[in-house]
Structure 1
């Protein structure tokens, strides 16, 4: 979308409702009265949360790990645990309401899948940003 302003536009304009305009292709022009104005393109975007959440809804993390083709590895890991840890971990993973980023289970998944901390953080960020 094209826009005009008699004030030099900021690179971004927050609309205050979770969206913002990114202003690009700024051109300085002169109107018929000799006044300077700027013409520019605007692209509407929405905020995406990139902060690593402390915890996410369990269904969200299960969805992200399923899409990352990790389901079988997670199931194998859970089945490898001795009792009573196996039962507790399975209940937490499949029936729990939230998963904490710093939980022992997430730490174990990280080791099993040989994931970096950044990769685990990204799974949590992706889970938090699921939009349905």
Structure 2
């Protein structure tokens, strides 16, 4: 009988404490925000590298014009291991800034749902934000 009482008391305590132990959507938003900030910094760095690549391509076009040869006469594509090749690879890896921007919008929607007390909706939108930045 004391085992049954202990079991019932344990189940009751778990039922009461369960929701308190689960992270609230607001807490999960706070945890995801630093990862989104990091993703945004990566996108900015990739964009800066992309600008450098564009300026190098422009310089090649100017070189072709000065030498009165068509741009196609100059070597095409980035040289393996070059800064241009690295920037191109990094841009392809990151998927661009769209995911980070979409995730930021989703995070803002989740924050609004959290303020309204819609925990289920908040968690669903938060899941979308995680997918958009490639976070588990």
* TM-score category of the 2 structures, normalised to the smaller one: under 0.3
Higher relative contact order (CA 8 A, sep 6+): 2
Larger Rg: 2
More helix by share: 2
TM-score under structure 2 length normalisation: 0.27
- TM-score (norm. length: structure 1): 0.28
